[in-house]
Amino acid sequence: MKQPQEVDIAVLGAGAAGMATALFLAENFSVKPAAGSPPTICLLESAKKIGAKILVSGGGRCNLTHKIVTPNDFYGERNFIKKVLKALTVEKTVRWFSSLGIETKVEPTGKRFPVSNRAQTVLSAFLEKLAEANIPIFREHLVSAVNVVDEHFLVEHSSGSLRAKHLVLATGGCSLPKSGSNGHGLKIAQHLGHSVSDLLPALTPLVLQNSFGHGEIKGTSQEVSLSLFRDNKLQQRFSGPLLWTHFGVSGPVVLDISRHWNIAKQQDQTVRIEANFLPSYDDQKVTRWLTDSRTSGSSKFLKNILQEKLPKRFVALLLGRLGLPEDQRLAQLSKQKQKELLLSLLHLELPIVESRGWNVAEVTAGGVTLSEVNPTTMESKICPGLYFTGEILDVDGRLGGFNFQWAWSTAKVAAEAITQKWAASAKRG
Ligand SMILES: Cc1cc2nc3c(=O)[nH]c(=O)nc-3n(C[C@H](O)[C@H](O)[C@H](O)COP(=O)(O)OP(=O)(O)OC[C@H]3O[C@@H](n4cnc5c(N)ncnc54)[C@H](O)[C@@H]3O)c2cc1C
């Protein structure tokens, strides 16, 4: 398609939020005669390949929302988030996906995926519907600047420029920069008068000191509870699966707590994370368990007792770290070593060196300041005609499909508001 020099609505960024915004607009203008003659819409995208992040999401399966979504699943201003989520609830989201031909299912974790188990199903449906609605995506169109000229947005991009009446900034944050989301959209927002809160990678794995020995048990996964202490005060506790990797730790519980570790580090606070490898046990319960095991079979090997509740490879690592032989019998375990064992099982400080950073972060903490955006329209309070959808805003969700829900819900709000504005201006003639 020939690239236009003037459109009614330009959406910058063809990620989850940008494509959803354009799809909701297309639906509105195909079913609402009150909206007047349909506006011209296009998407500008810097990447060559559309939807890279959708394709890698949820391990290639796209965890597109959760069984239940509440404002408490997000970090950001509660009331703002509540209003946005209300506009497109989980039930409505599921119906919307179904209308696009994507049936979904909830897994025991509460995560919702396409029945096909393929993220490609989502991307293909989006692209197909956009093509049906004649909404072009101009790929390899890196937007370098936006200025307001004569009540229009003048968008400078790598292949020229474009004038638009309405502009949707859906350029994401800084996570996974190789996908095209490198934070440039946030600079555009700042140039248009917006403030941007501190940006930090969230939902990241954590790197441990090599000497810890995690490399020996890479691939092992186990249920843990992680507690984060800032200046020796307990701040956060998360429970769930932890995955040992060649560099350190990953898995849902690590990704969820990483945000808080990254913030504390940035603020230069003393921060530590303690792991409890028997989440339903406390000191007393472990002592009782070991005492009972001692009396029920004094010749038992310690490793066999620990393996009743912990992965074999982790037990081997633990014994090695405590300097205990493989054939250590529980009956011969000294009081001092039992104390050390208890500490390692319930209060082991993870020797974290750093977070894995933007290159693997699933989401950006921080973004366009919410007080400068109207939550019932997603329109800027500073620059009329400018809208924000998705990760560019100062909201990030925990792991489990919440960040995509944020993209869909903000897209819905913005599309409704733009449609109404368009209809009102069409009425005025
Ligand atoms: C590995 C990984 C797995 C994930 N898994 C899940 C999951 O299963 N469930 C979930 O809910 N969330 C998941 N997320 C998070 C989720 O993908 C994001 O929150 C969501 O994609 C944000 O959508 P967005 O459209 O706002 O931003 P993005 O998806 O980042 O899209 C922004 C788009 O704008 C383009 N762009 C940026 N700047 C410019 C510019 N100057 N000019 C033109 N185009 C530009 C970018 O190229 C990009 O295509 C995952 C993220 C990652 C990295």
Contact yes or no for 143/46 (Cβ under 8 A): yes
Ligand 1, atom nearest to 173 Cα: 30
Ligand 1, atom nearest to 401 Cα: 11
189 with 226, same domain?
no
What is the rounded distance in angstroms from the CA atom of residue 162 to the CA atom of residue 22? 17
Query: Which residues lie below 8 Å from residue 221, measured CB to CB, with a gap of 6+?
Result: 241, 242, 243, 244, 251, 311
The CATH number of the domain where 56 resides is what? 3.50.50.60
193 with 228, same domain?
no
96 with 111, same domain?
yes
232 with 343, same domain?
yes
Contact yes or no for 391/363 (Cβ under 8 A): yes
Nearest CA to 297 out of 329, 257, 265 is that of 329
What is the rounded distance in angstroms from the CA atom of residue 12 to the CA atom of residue 155? 9
Q: Phi and psi of 222, rounded to 5°? A: -155, 155
85 with 184, same domain?
yes
Nearest residue by C-alpha to atom 47 in ligand 1: 180
Range of the domain at 420: 6-200+364-428
The radius of gyration of the chain's CA atoms, rounded to the nearest angstrom, is 25
Nearest residue by C-alpha to atom 10 in ligand 1: 401
Query: Per the domain annotation, does 184 fall within a domain?
Result: yes
Q: Which of 337, 356, 375 is the last residue of a domain?
A: 356
Ligand 1, atom nearest to 389 Cα: 26
103 with 166, same domain?
yes
State in Å: Cα 262 to ligand 1 middle: 20
161 with 211, same domain?
no
Nearest residue by C-alpha to atom 5 in ligand 1: 57
Query: Per the domain annotation, does 293 fall within a domain?
Result: yes
- Substitution site in 67, 403, 412 for ligand 1 pocket (most atoms within 8 Å of beta carbon): 403
What is the rounded distance in angstroms from the CA atom of residue 13 to the CA atom of residue 132? 19
End-to-end alpha carbon distance in the chain? 29
Tell me which H or E stretch contains 104: strand 104-106
CA 322 to chain centre: 37
348 with 412, same domain?
no
Query: Per the domain annotation, does 158 fall within a domain?
Result: yes
Q: Domain total for the chain?
A: 2
334 with 386, same domain?
no
Q: What is the pLDDT of residue 200?
A: 96
Other beta carbons within 10 angstroms of residue 1's beta carbon come to: 9
**pTM to 2 decimal places:** 0.95
Nearest CA to 54 out of 113, 131, 141 is that of 113
Query: Per the domain annotation, does 115 fall within a domain?
Result: yes
State in Å: Cα 311 to ligand 1 middle: 35
335 with 370, same domain?
no
Q: What is the pLDDT of residue 294?
A: 80
What is the rounded distance in angstroms from the CA atom of residue 202 to the CA atom of residue 332? 45
DSSP string, 276-330: ESSTT--HHHHHHHHHHHHHH-TT-BHHHHHHTTS-HHHHHHHHHHTT--TT-BG
State in Å: Cα 16 to ligand 1 middle: 6
Pocket of ligand 1 (CB under 6 A): 12-18, 44-47, 53, 56-58, 62-63, 142-143, 170-172, 175-176, 179-181, 184-185, 362-363, 390-391, 401-404, 407
Ligand 1, atom nearest to 396 Cα: 19
Query: Per the domain annotation, does 221 fall within a domain?
Result: yes
What is the rounded distance in angstroms from the CA atom of residue 188 to the CA atom of residue 388? 12
Q: Which of 317, 335, 356 is the last residue of a domain?
A: 356
Nearest residue by C-alpha to atom 35 in ligand 1: 13
Query: Per the domain annotation, does 340 fall within a domain?
Result: yes
DSSP string, 213-266: -GGGGTT-EEEEEEEEEETTEEEEEEEEEEEE-SSEEESHHHHHHHHHHHHHHH
Q: What is the pLDDT of residue 36?
A: 66
Q: Determine the 3-state secondary structure of 134 from DSSP.
A: coil
285 with 307, same domain?
yes
Distances (CA, A) of 425 to 39, 139, 429: 11, 30, 6
Q: Which of 311, 336, 356 is the last residue of a domain?
A: 356
Only one residue has tokens 């398609």, namely 1
CA 121-23-142 angle, to 5 degrees, is 90
State in Å: Cα 129 to ligand 1 middle: 19
273 with 420, same domain?
no
Query: Which residues lie below 8 Å from residue 200, measured CB to CB, with a gap of 6+?
Result: 259, 262, 263, 266, 364, 365, 366
Question: What does each of the 429 residues of the chain score in pLDDT, given as a tens digit?
Answer: 666 799 999 999 999 999 999 999 999 998 765 556 889 999 999 999 999 999 999 999 999 999 999 999 999 999 999 999 999 999 999 999 999 999 999 999 999 999 999 999 999 999 999 999 999 999 999 999 999 999 999 999 999 999 999 999 999 999 999 988 999 999 999 999 999 999 999 999 999 999 999 999 999 999 999 999 999 999 999 999 999 999 999 999 999 999 999 999 998 779 999 999 999 999 999 999 988 888 876 568 999 999 999 999 999 999 999 999 999 998 899 999 999 999 999 999 999 999 999 999 999 999 999 999 999 999 999 999 999 999 999 999 999 999 999 999 999 999 999 999 998 887 776
State in Å: Cα 170 to ligand 1 middle: 9
Query: Per the domain annotation, does 72 fall within a domain?
Result: yes
Query: Per the domain annotation, does 1 fall within a domain?
Result: no
Strands 396-397 and 221-230: unpaired
